[in-house]
Structure 1
C-alpha cells in the first residue's frame, strides 16, 4: 500500500474514532447527586470514563501495531491467521455498543510490544495476566495527530519488507521540535530501555543512573502512571510522593501527570516535606546561603570533602543518633515505684511491663505519653475504689502524680537534636565548630538543610509517622541526597517501593551528596534493589553531547559517557571576548538568535547568582524581555531566561549561551557544574569566555 493510501485510510479511521468518542461524551448522563450508594459508584465510573474520553480526544492515539497471536497448542506460520490492528494511546477507549477496544491504553500488557519490538521476523511476546502471549508483528506505525488531523505517519516496521533506517525517524522528528516552558510526556516515543524501567515490578528500590537528557525524569513520572494502572486498587495516588530538587522544577514537570490522566500524586521537596513533618518547629535557613558559600566562592577539594553536610548526612552520624535514642529508651523510666501512699503503690516492674510490652512497637514519646495517661487513670481509679473524699488527700495524690510524671522526660525532636551539640551530651567526632554553629542556629529556631534529615529521623522515632505510609516514592536528582535522607524516607514505607534517579556526573552538591550509587543501594538488601543505566541522551545534538563529554574529561563512579542519538546540528562555539565588551557581546548573540526566530526558549547561564543579576540588569536596559531565575523561585516561565548553572539542573532550552567559560570562572573542581550548564541545550550551544578559556576545554578540538 502506498503511503498516500495508508494516510487516507488512517485519516478515515481517525475521523470515525473521534466521532465515536464525541458521541459517547454527548450521551453521558448528568452527574448523580442523590444518596444511593450504588448510583454514586456508577457515577464515579462514568466520570472516569469521561476523563479518559477527554484525554483521548486531544490525541486519540499515537501508535499502531498489527499483531498475529499464535495459538497455544501449535506453532503457526507467519502467514497463517489474521493480524489484528491495535491502536495505542494515552487512554483506553472501548466502543459503546460492542465493547470492542477502539484504543488500547499505553500501559496495557499488549501495548508493551509497541515499545519493546524493534524489528525482525522472530516471534514477539508480552506478559498478560494469563501468562506469556506469543505472536508475530506485521506492522509498527507511528502517528502525530493534532486538531483531529494526522500530521505525520511513519512506518518503523513492515513485515516482509527490507528494514531501512526508519526506526528512529519518528523519534528524531519529535526530538527536533522546539521546547516550551513545561516538561512533556514521552509516551509516544518511549524507548525499549526506558519501557523496562517503567514496567519494572513495584516492590523494589529501583536506582536509575541516567546521563543528561536520557529522559530519566519523564521515565519516573510514566512509571507512576503505570503502577497506578497495573496495581489498581492496591496502591493509591494520594499515597505516592515525588521529591524534586526545588519548587521551580515541580512547576516545570507539573503538566506530565495530568496529560497521562493521573492526579492526586504528591509533589514536594525534601526540605518542605521535612518541615511539614516537624510541624514547622524550626524555620529553614535560606538555602541560597549554602549555595552562595559553595558556588559564589572558590573552595578547595578538602573543604568540599569535609563539609558538615556530608558528616550530618552520613550513616555514622545516624548511628550516633540511634545510640542516643537507645540511651533515652533505657533511661526514660524512673527506677523507683510510684507511691501514692504506704498502701497504694505502683511498682517499677509494672511500669516497665506497660511501657515495653503493651506499647513496645510505638514511638518513644507516644509510649511515654500513653504511659503517663495510664498512670493518671490508675491514680483516678485508686481514688475512686478507696473512696478517698478528703480534698487534702486528693490534692496530695495529684501532686505526687505530677511530680512522678515529670521524672519521665518529654522531648521534642528539636530539643533532643540540640542536646547532641551541647556540653556532656556532645556526640563524639563532632567538631567544635560544627557543634557551635548548629547549636546557635537551633537556638534561633532555624535549621540548615543538612539538619533536616536528622531532625526528621528523630521526629519519626519520637512521635511516629502521623500519615499513611507511602505506597511509592520517586526521588529525582538523588545524587544530591545523603544516605541519611534516604534512611528517613525508608522509614515512611512498610515495604521498599521507590524509583531513585539521578546522574553522578551532575552531582554538583558534593558538600552533601554521594559519589557512588553504592552509598545508597547498600541501604537495601540486594534482593529488593534494581539498577538501570540510561546512557543514551535524547535531549541534545551529537555536537553538544560530544562537547559536554570532553568537559568531564572522564567519568567517575563507574558511569559510562553519554551516547547521543544520531541527530546532528550546529557546531558548538567558544568565543573569547574582552571584559569591556562582555555584556555587549551577550546582547548581540541574543539579538541574532531571537531575530532568526528559530528558538522558543533561550537561556543565558551564568557562573554565579551575582553574575546573573548583572547580566539580567544589562539585558533589561537593552530592551530584552528576560526572566531571572533565583533560589526559591516557584515557577519557570520559558522564553529568554538568565539562570545560574547550579539552578539550571533538570531544565531544557532550545539554545544556551554560557556567559563566561573563562579560566577564572570554571576551574578543575567545576567540571560538573559546567557540564550541567552545557547539557541544558537541545539544539544550539555557544560559550563566551573572558581572558583565557577554562582549562576544562584543553582537549576540545573544534
Structure 2
C-alpha cells in the first residue's frame, strides 16, 4: 500500500540528503581518480617499461578508486530501493536502506545504504513482519521486523513508495483468479509494466522469495532450476553469481567463474547485468567456444544452430532422421561408453612394445614399461603416463649408466689382462692395451650418447597423434567402430556418420555434436589441468546433451553449478535433456538440488494462457507457467491473404506500440529462410526500418527486428509478431510444439499472431 503524505515527505528529505552526500563523494572520487591517473602516467614514463613496485601499487589503488567512482556515480541516480525497520533482541529499532551497492560514510562511521547481498538484506526479500531471524557470520540474529518499504526512484526523485502489509507476502496468481480476489504486489506490478531495452537488466529491487532462496544457496552445490518461460531463471542465475562473489570474496575470483550461454547473441543480451552489479571479468562463453579453447582448435565449427536450421529447412525427411539420430547418439552416455572402449583399445595397442636397448644392453624391459603404464599409473591420462614414465626413466638412467659402465669395464678388464698375459713383446703389448682402453672409452662414450637418444626416439615413436586425428580415425575405421559399438549401430547410420566425418575432414570443420567426445578424449589422453572453475553457470541447459554437461562437470573444481533451463522450450529435443532426473542420476550421481520456478514475470496473463495451451500438448509436459497477476490485451489472431496486407497491418501495430510508450518489436519467422522472405516484403511495403538477425553471433541494436524462432530463446520483447502461424508451419509434432511455445513466450505486453487460411490447431 502507498505510504501517507507525512511519511512521503520524510522519505523525500532522506533521499535528498543521500543524493547530496553522494554528489560530494562523486566529486571527491573524481578528484582522487584524476590524481592517481596522472601519477600512474608519470610512473609508467619513469619506469621505462621495467617493473616498478610503486607503479604496481599505485595501479591497484587507481583501479579501486575507479570502481568507487563508478559505484558512486551509478548510485547517485537511484541510491536505494527499499527500507526495513528491524529491532534486534534487546536493542532499539533501526532503519536500514537497501540498494544495489553498499555505501559507507567513513567520516561518520555510518552505513548509509546496505548492499542487497548483505545478510540483513535477506529480511527484505524473505522476511515477514513480526519475529524473524537472519544468518550473519557470527550466527543467527533474532529480532522483530516492523516495516518493509519499497521505493520507486527515478533520476534522484522519489516517485512513489509502498509499505508491504502483514499479509501482502505471496502473490496468489493462478490464471483463474480475478483482480478482485488476488493480492497484488503493486511495486512489482509497476516494475513489470515498464518497457525493456535491448539488454537484460538487474532486478535487485524485485527479487521474489523463491528466487532469493536460490540466489543465496550455498556455493558448493549443484542447483538445477527448471524455470518456466519468463520465470527469471537467467536473471536469478546471474544475481546468484553476484551474491557468491560478495559472500566468498576472500577466496573466489571472477576468473574462476564461467557462464555458458547458448550463443553470442544471448551473451550480448545478458552482458550488462554482472557489470551493473559490480562484477566484471567473469568468463562468458558458449559451449562451442570453451570446447575449442580447451582443444586449442581455431578452425571452423558447424554449430548446433546451423544444424538446427538444417533440420528445420531440409525437405528430405530421411536425411533429417539421420541428422537427429546421429546428434542424439553422439550426445548420449552410450557414446561416452564407446569412447571408454576406444581408450582401452588405444591402451592395448600402446603396450605392444619392446625393450628399450642400446646395442646389447637393455635399459628398460617391456614388462617394466607395461607395469608402469597399465598398473602403477593407471589413474593418469594416457599421455601423462608416458611423460611420467619418461621422467622416471631419465632419473633412473643416472643409476643405470654407471652400472653399464661397470659391465663394460669388467669386459675390457678381462681382455686387458689376457693381453698382458699372452703378448710377450712389450711394444705390441702396450699398443694392444692402449687400443683396448680407447675402445672401452669409446664404447662408454657411445653408450652414454645413445642411451638418451634411444629414450627420446622410443618415446617419440610411442607418442599419440592429435586428439582430433584419434577421434576421426575411429569414425573412419568401420571395423574398429563396429567392434567397439558391438554391432549395435546400423549400417545406414554408420554410413551417414562416416559421410559427415569425411565432409568435416575435407572441409576442415568440426561438428559441435563431436565436441563432447573430443573433450572426453582430451581429458583421458592429455588431461584438462589448466581448466578449473570454482563455479559454472549453464543457461538454456535443456539444449545440452548429458555427455556435454558431463564434460562441463570435468572442468568444475567442486561440483559447484547453477544450471537453469526449461524442458518445455527444449527445441533440440532430439539431443537435449529429456528429464532433469536423468541428468541428476547420470551426470551428478544423484547429488543435486532440483528447484522448479513456475511463476512467470515476463508476460501478461492473457499471453501466458495462450502459450500454455501449446505447452500442455507437449509429450511429458511440465507444470504450466503461473503468470503474475498482470492483465493486458488478449493476443490478436489476425488473418491475411497477401503479404502487402500483412505489412499494412504490421505498420498499424508499430504505430500503436509507439503510442503505448513501448519500444522493442520482433517479427518472428519459423526459419531463417522465412525471415529473409519477410525482410524482402517489409523492404518493399513497410513504412519502417527492420533489422534482420542473420546469425547468433551478431548483436542487434534496432528496436524493430526480424528473427528466426530458434534464435529468440531467452530473449524478450515488448511486442512480438508471430508470422504465419498456420497448420502447415506449426503442425501437430513435438518439434513444432516446442518451437511455438518458445515463440509465444517472448512478449511482455503485446502479442499478434498472423496466419493464412486457418490458424494452427496447437492454439486451440
Task: Report the alpha carbon displacement of residue 613 of structure 1 after superposing the two structures with TM.
Answer: 0.7
- Paired residue for 2:103? 93
Could you tell me which residue of structure 1 aligns to residue 156 of structure 2? 148
**1: CA distance, partners of 2:81 / 2:103:** 14
CA contact (8 A) 1:55 1:90 kept: no
TM-score for both structures, normalised by structure 2: 0.83
How far off is 1:511 after superposition?
2.2
The 3 A distance-change label for structure 1 pair 139 and 301 is farther
Partner of 1:316, secondary structure, is helix
Structure 1 residue corresponding to 2:327, chosen from 292, 295, 309:
309
Structure-2 change in CA distance of 1:412 and 1:461 (3 Å): same
**Range that drifts further, 446-455 or 619-628:** 619-628
Q: 1:424 to 1:172 in 2, by over 3 A?
A: same
What's the counterpart of residue 692 of structure 2?
628
- Give how far 1:172 is off: 0.4
Mean Cα deviation higher: 668-677 or 588-597: 588-597
**Counterpart of 1:575 in 2: which secondary structure?**
strand
* Bigger Cα displacement from structure 2, 424-433 vs 682-691: 424-433
Q: Is the 8 A contact 1:105 1:111 kept in 2?
A: yes
Q: Would the aligned equivalents of 1:469 and 1:492 in 2 still touch at CA under 8 Å?
A: yes
- 1:410 and 1:628 map into 2 onto residues whose CA distance is 46
Q: Which residue of 1 aligns with 2:515?
A: 452
Instruction: Give the Cα separation in 2 of the matches to 1:636 and 1:66.
Output: 44
Q: Which residue of 2 aligns with 1:423?
A: 478
Do the aligned partners of 1:504 and 1:557 also contact (CA within 8 Å) in 2?
Answer: no
| Greater Cα offset, 422-431 or 680-689 | 422-431
> CA-atom RMSD, angstroms?
3.1
Whole-Å Cα distance in 1 between the matches of residues 375 and 341 of structure 2?
A: 21
What are the equivalent positions in structure 2 for 1:92-131 lying under 5 Å apart? 92-117=102-127, 119-120=128-129, 122-131=130-139
Counterpart among 620, 638, 641 of residue 575 in structure 1? 638
Q: Does 1:696 align with 2:762?
A: yes
Work out which of the residue numbers 312, 319, 327 in structure 1 matches 2:337.
319
Contact 2:618 2:738 in 1 (8 A): no
| Match among 655, 659, 662 for residue 599 of structure 1 | 662
Using the alignment, how far apart are the partners of 1:103 and 1:594 within structure 2? 38
SS of the residue corresponding to residue 660 of structure 1 reads coil
Structure 1 pair 300/508, CA: closer, same or farther in 2 (3 Å)? Answer: farther
- TM-score, structure 1 as length reference: 0.90
1:675–1:24 Cα change, 3 Å: same
Partner of 2:311 in structure 1? Answer: 294
Q: Does 1:648 align with 2:648?
A: no
* 8 Å contact kept, 1:419–1:425: no
- Structure 2: distance between partners of 1:343 and 1:237: 55
Asked if the contact 1:593/1:599 (under 8 Å) is kept, the reply is no
Cα 1:629–1:441 change in 2 (3 A) is same
> Could you tell me how far 1:216 is from its partner in structure 2?
0.4
1:572-603 CA distance string (max 9 Å, x none): 11122114555434544445435635320011
Structure 1 window deviating more from structure 2 (197-206 vs 124-133): it is: 124-133
3-state DSSP of counterpart to 1:654: strand
Higher helix share: 2
In the TM superposition, what is the alpha-carbon distance from 1:168 to its structure 2 partner?
0.7
2:453 equivalent to 1:443: no
Of 273-282 and 17-26, more deviation after overlay is shown by: 17-26
The number of aligned residues is 686
SS at structure 1 position matched to 2:194: coil
Match of 1:545 in 2: 608
- Aligned residue for 1:267, secondary structure, equals strand
Structure 2 partner of 1:6 = 7
Structure 1 residues 158 and 404: CA distance shift in structure 2, 3 A = closer
588 and 187 in structure 1: CA distance in 2 versus 1, 3 angstrom threshold: same
**Which has the larger displacement, 168-177 or 34-43?**
34-43
Whether 1:674 and 2:693 are equivalent positions in the alignment is: no
Cα distance, 1:149 vs structure 2: 1.3
Q: Which residue of 2 aligns with 1:77?
A: none
Deviates more, 1:556-565 or 1:225-234: 556-565
CA contact (8 A) 1:143 1:150 kept: yes
1:294 aligned counterpart, secondary structure: helix
Q: Sort the Cα spacing of 1:552 and 1:348 in 2 relative to 1 into closer, same or farther, 3 A.
A: same
**Structure 1 stretch displaced more, 605-614 or 399-408:** 399-408
Instruction: Confirm or deny: 8 A CA contact 1:205 1:498 kept in the other structure.
Output: yes
Unaligned runs of 5+ in 2: 41-51, 172-180, 406-439
Aligned match of 1:75: none
Residue 501 of structure 1 and its aligned partner are, at CA, apart by 0.5
1:138–1:159 CA contact under 8 A, matched in 2? no
- Determine which structure has more spread, i.e. the larger CA radius of gyration: 2
